[in-house]
Amino acid sequence: MRYVTLLLIFLGIFSFASAQSGTLTGLITDAENNQPLNGASIRVVGTYLGGLTDAKGNFRIQGIKPGDYSVIITYIGYAEREYNGIRIVAGSTQNLQIALNSSVSTLGEVEIVGQRTLIDLESGKSGVNIGQDQISQMGVTNVQEVAARQLGVNLTPDGLQIRGGRVYETEYVVDGVSAQDPLSGTGFGVEVNSAALQNLEVITGGAEAEYGNGTSGVVSARIREGGKRWTVNGNYRRDNLGFNVNQGPSWNTDEADISMGGPIIKKKLTLFLAGSAGMTDQFFRSQATQLQNSMLKNPELWAPRYDNKYTGTFKLAYTFKPGLKFTLTQQNSLAINQNTRTLQVVGNDQIVTPGFQFPYSLNLDNANTYLHRTSLTVLAARAILGPQWTTDVTLGRLFVNLRADANGRPFRTETVDQLYDPASIVTDPVTLFNPGDTAVYVFPGPGLINNGGIATVWHDHYVNELSAKVKFNYQSKTKVHYMTFGWEHKEQEYQWIDVARPWVGAAIQINDSLTTPATSLGSSSDLWRVRPATGGWFYSDEIRYKGIIASLGFRLNYWAPGKFVDDAVANPDAPVLDAIREQYADQTFGFLDRNWKARLLPRIRVSFPVTENNVLYFNYNHAMRLPHPRFVYAGLDPVFQDRSFLANLGNPNLNPEVSVAYELGLKSQINRDLAASFTAFYSDRFDYIVTRAITVRDQTGRFVEKSFYINQDYARIRGAEVSLTGRMGKWLMGSVSGAYQIATGKSNTAAESALQIRQNGFVNATKEQYLAWDRPFEFKGLLIFTPDSTIHIGRMPLRGFRATLSANYNSGLRYTPYNLVGVNDQTGRPEYEPIETQPYAKVGKAWFWLDFRLSRDFFFGKYGRASVFFEVKNLTDYKSPAIINPVTGKGYENGDPVPLAWRDPYYPDPQDRGTPPNNPARYLAPRHMFFGVQFAF
């Protein structure tokens, strides 16, 4: 209720009225033959006003209140035209002379005249669409950094979070095809460099029915095409000048990209190419001598630093004839690093945590190295079938492969003749505890692995996903209905191999003789190869009537776990519970020799003007996200089963996680240079995955305990957002925005519910708690200064200079507070323990960063320009804690008290366990300075 009250106050502030009005008149003709167009539609955006041309192509719209408007002209068979910044003055008449182009040559694209509006009053959804010209001024390198600049989007060590959701709940598409790695769980897969983007759309609320697998939002990237003439663009930046490598704000970073595009056959065939490379040692001041990976050839070339990323882009566009266009996109990316967040199953047992392998920091040559390679191929066709019909056909192939090993070491040797288990061991000099007592102890090791042991994870997965999508668009002759409907389908192949401590169970060789045979595949393992399928039918009808725009639609999603699950359910030897077998039979339907499930997702979107240039909108949206495949397939093979204690067991009958979201907002175009918006949102999340311990019979006939997955958890997210965007002439543009939101639920991860049962004997079934990823407050600001020759400092004109200043403030990470419970009699250490009744009740020190970029352009006439720039990330060197010390609510500093479960370097104890608290990744990145050059010809 309080959000509705705020909305009414906001409306009162930004609405306006006038006793006098103005008139808009004009003539609309055909651009080719200059003949008048009878019956063309004109609408004044943000009002109920509009009209049609007469037989002579003239129109007249009266009663328009003074202000700045956008005017949209449509006519069957012609390209839609949008005029922005049309100023209506009281008591006067504004006249437009308009010549429309045939849509046969424009494929239904909208032609825009004048500066783009600061806000889209015709869209009833929340989000932004950012073009290449804006992206180039941001100083960002990839899709995630572009998206993170938008309100409601946070970039954490886990990935992108949209409006309080988990990172994997965001749908990510490139050229209309899913570009996510469905097995890594991070929400992203194919990397796209910012230089290769034509535009990026970030939808935080009210997504169209064609998007089918994102419960938090959608990030949709469109790859550039070659233009009418050849252009070449490049960018190179580094953070050192050669003498200050890995010193101060330098982390030995080099980043470069280059792109080119243009026509191969005039008006027929264009080509766009782009490539990028980024290498850095990060700010941890610790790295391996050389990164290795068992899939990587020439590691010295491809992995010279701690973190290495590469992208390659290829796009052909062929206009077969007017109204028929084909595109072929190939997007590749490769990443080699030691960041554990590369492989994660968020929602299982992970919350926001840095990916630096601090336990191995004394010898990162023995830590895990991750190689993530992706390839996305998209073949698309767009055709105009008639004056009212267009169609889009898209075929795609996504291939992803992720390998994690102990820095290039093989899965395991034929025989084991040395100790591989990592441990922190006692080293010289030995320090005694209570040396004069009858019981004498030595202090343990430093908590960091120092025995030559290697990383315990060996992992490999691949995804091969083939997709097809057909979409039709229909616009009625009256322009009242704009219908979109279609179908998409994906045939997938997943392989997952996950082994802990793979040397366990291998043959042991002593004195050059084989003494024991191989007995198992590591201390625990999970192996499966499956072929699921997913898809959906979608339909929406956008109805326009006198300024009111209502979009009514639905999406019918379907999915099949595949033959692997069907066979496991039918096999009495497979470890599937009888109750699950019965549910699977009752809740699925057979088709084409597979068992399927389906779910209907309704979607409603309505917007209408409340006063001129003030539009109220409402969204009601059902969305779903299929569970991570590991929750479905783990341990179901009747032969290859993990025999370790509490091994994972998948649930063949798991349902998707579902969100039901509501949104109410107001968009206001105050004048052509100032716009504002206010949004209140609420979302219920159902059927989150939780873990239960169950007993099943394994392949040996014994009853064993397994970790089993079910749909039972839920969460609620509610909040409000406000933003203000303005510009001063052509040389200054800025925006400020803020949000407040709360995310509550029963548990943070699937594993947490099982932990509650072990600790308390039950799940906290009645009381919601704050969720670990809840970040109540968010504020963002952006200022872009692009002076022209009229702006001077003294006598020096500032034309060619550009400056960008961006600020970001977020509430800190949530944590459970601790209380002082006593002092250790022997060591004198204060002992702090958690307040179990207040899980995640406190918010840690806030995150803040201020980024600055200054560039100077040098123009070479009609040939192009070159730029030099200076850039600073985290200008104030603010310490944003990524690991919270729950005693202080901040990042750990030397001398701070720490929880009893933590190692305290100021109070050594023979029972110390775990790593020291001074992990260099406990803070986000410090100040980082770049120098660079750009060119565009």
- Residues 772-795 have pLDDT tens digits of 889 999 999 999 988 876 777 767
Q: 892 to each of 360, 845, 897, 898, 903, how far by Cα in Å? A: 19, 11, 9, 8, 12
Q: What is the predicted pLDDT for the residue at 125?
A: 87
| Cα 732 to Cα 137: distance, rounded to the nearest angstrom | 13
What beta strand segments (E) does 342-480 contain? 369-384, 389-405, 415-416, 432-433, 441-442, 457-475
Q: What is the predicted pLDDT for the residue at 643?
A: 63
Give the up-direction half-sphere exposure of residue 238: CA atoms within 13 A in the CB hemisphere. Answer: 10
Backbone angles phi, psi at 578, to 5 degrees: -60, -40
Q: What is the predicted pLDDT for the residue at 457?
A: 92
Answer yes or no: are the C-beta atoms of 497 and 414 closer than 8 Å.
no
Cα dihedral 583→584→589→595 (10° resolution): 180
Q: What is the predicted pLDDT for the residue at 761?
A: 52
Q: What is the predicted pLDDT for the residue at 555?
A: 97
- Sequence-distant (6+) residues with CB within 8 A of 49 are 43, 61, 63, 64, 547
Helical H runs in 791-914? Answer: none
Q: pTM for the full model?
A: 0.91
- Residue written as tokens 């073009």? 131
Q: 276 to each of 178, 237, 310, 333, 903, how far by Cα in Å? A: 22, 12, 6, 9, 42
DSSP-derived secondary structure letter, 109: P
Answer yes or no: are the C-beta atoms of 804 and 782 closer than 8 Å.
yes
| Cα 384 to Cα 392: distance, rounded to the nearest angstrom | 9
- Low-confidence residues of the chain: pLDDT under 50: 13-19
- Sequence-distant (6+) residues with CB within 8 A of 592 are none
* First CA to last CA distance, the chain: 55
| Cα 171 to Cα 212: distance, rounded to the nearest angstrom | 8
Backbone angles phi, psi at 800, to 5 degrees: 100, -20
Q: 556 to each of 176, 462, 486, 599, how far by Cα in Å? A: 18, 28, 11, 6
| Cα 937 to Cα 862: distance, rounded to the nearest angstrom | 9
- Residue 370 pairs in a beta bridge with 337, 404
For 335-349, letters b (16+ CB in 10 Å) and e give bbbbbbbbbbbbbbe
For 472-507, letters b (16+ CB in 10 Å) and e give bbbbeeebeebbbbbebebbbebebbbbbbbbbbbb
Answer yes or no: are the C-beta atoms of 489 and 467 closer than 8 Å.
yes
SS3 5: helix
| Cα 711 to Cα 163: distance, rounded to the nearest angstrom | 22
Other CB atoms within 10 A of residue 140 CB: 19
- Residue 830 pairs in a beta bridge with 823
Q: What is the predicted pLDDT for the residue at 672?
A: 85
Q: What is the predicted pLDDT for the residue at 517?
A: 75
| Cα 394 to Cα 379: distance, rounded to the nearest angstrom | 6
Sign of the torsion formed by the C-alpha atoms of 749, 750, 753 and 754: negative
